[in-house]
Amino acid sequence: MIKFSIIIPCYNAQAHIGRCINSLKQLINSDYTEFIFIDDGSQDDTLTIIRSFAQSDKRVICVAQSNQGVSAARNAGLKHATGKYVLFLDSDDYLESNTLHILQPFFVTSADILLPAVQIDSDNTSVCTNEIAEGIYSATALYKTCKTFPTSPKLVYKRAIIEQYHILFDTTIHVGEVYTFTVQCLRYAQTIMVSNVIFYHYVMHNESAIHAPRPKTDCTIIRAIQSIAHNGQEWMSFPSFQHTIYSLTMCFTYEKYIAQGIINKAAIRLWKDVLKEPLFQQCLESVRSTSSLPNQRHFIRLIQTLSPQISYICLFFLHKIRKYLHI
């Protein structure tokens, strides 16, 4: 009986997938684990690398499909999964060798979702620990406790919930899709286990989706926050829920464009469309009224007061000045 399914969507990943595969090979006590690779129409040698791994390891399932996007690839992985629990692992990320030992308390409690800590590997390596005390929570208790819900792809889900409620990744959402999926799962989860133990390494590359500006796909953050608000209606009154929507949206707008020194029509149009979204306006006001940080309150007041185009230009030059003055 398979206890744990690890789903790895892949697209043109030959430069980074080796470390991911090596980490799977080194997993201790992983006989009841399956590795489901979904090659999403790679143009390089990714599929060849995966097939080679599959030939040498019976735990590997290799599926090739035409290029449809990471959400479609994750959905394809779910169709092949047979484990009691599911983890989505990006092809450039990797796991600790003792991951299954770390997960054992979660398996024993039979909680519906595991929210672990994660190590972010980038130019400046940092460890991101949960601000929430370890324990078992309901979704409501979790949002009452946390300041912002972690949105990176590293949660473990009970597959029965995904199957019973027909939860899938929305293939029309290209950014923020993992948290969108998570909120759907939280609707039906009875128990969420929080752990500050690290087993997942989240690797940040400059060319990754979270960094590379792509207005045509980044604009789907609007659809993402609409879906998050719809599926999380019972938590919309909690500041942490609105803070999370705010943080996620700013990640794909302010951080990706203004903070990177990008100023063009497409970027300003994206900013304008996001600011017109009533749900985001609601989150802006919630963050401004509950924030303990004066700079954040002033920042949001500027956004609320000025037109989108003027606020973009002002924030663009303010960021330039702060960067120049090392503030």
Least Cα distance to 171 among 208, 220, 207 occurs for 220
Q: What is the pTM of this model?
A: 0.94
Contact 245, 279 (CB under 8 A): yes
Cα separation, 146 vs 177, in Å, equals 21
pLDDT of residue 206: 62
pLDDT of residue 210: 60
Close Cβ partners of 247 (under 8 Å, ≥ 6 residues apart): 148, 151
pLDDT of residue 19: 96
H or E element that contains 304: helix 294-305
Contact 88, 162 (CB under 8 A): no
Cα separation, 308 vs 305, in Å, equals 9
For the chain, what are the domain ranges? 4-203, 215-325
Q: DSSP states of 235-270 as a string?
A: GTTSHHHHHHHHHHHHHTTIIIIITTT--SHHHHHH
CA distances from 315 to 34, 151, 261, 327 (A): 47, 25, 10, 14
Of the candidate CATH numbers 3.40.50.300, 3.40.50.2300, 3.90.550.10, 3.90.1150.10, the domain formed by 4-203 belongs to 3.90.550.10
Cα separation, 39 vs 58, in Å, equals 18
Q: What is the pLDDT along the chain (327 residues), one digit of tens a residue?
A: 779 999 999 999 999 999 999 999 999 988 899 999 999 999 999 999 999 999 999 999 999 999 999 999 999 999 999 999 999 999 999 999 999 999 999 998 989 999 998 888 876 666 676 778 899 999 999 999 999 888 776 899 999 999 999 999 999 999 999 999 999 999 999 999 999 889 999 988 765 556 689 999 999 999 999 999 999 999 999 999 999 999 999 999 999 999 999 999 999 999 999 999 999 999 999 999 999 999 999 999 999 999 999 999 999 999 888 877 766
pLDDT of residue 129: 65
Close Cβ partners of 327 (under 8 Å, ≥ 6 residues apart): 321
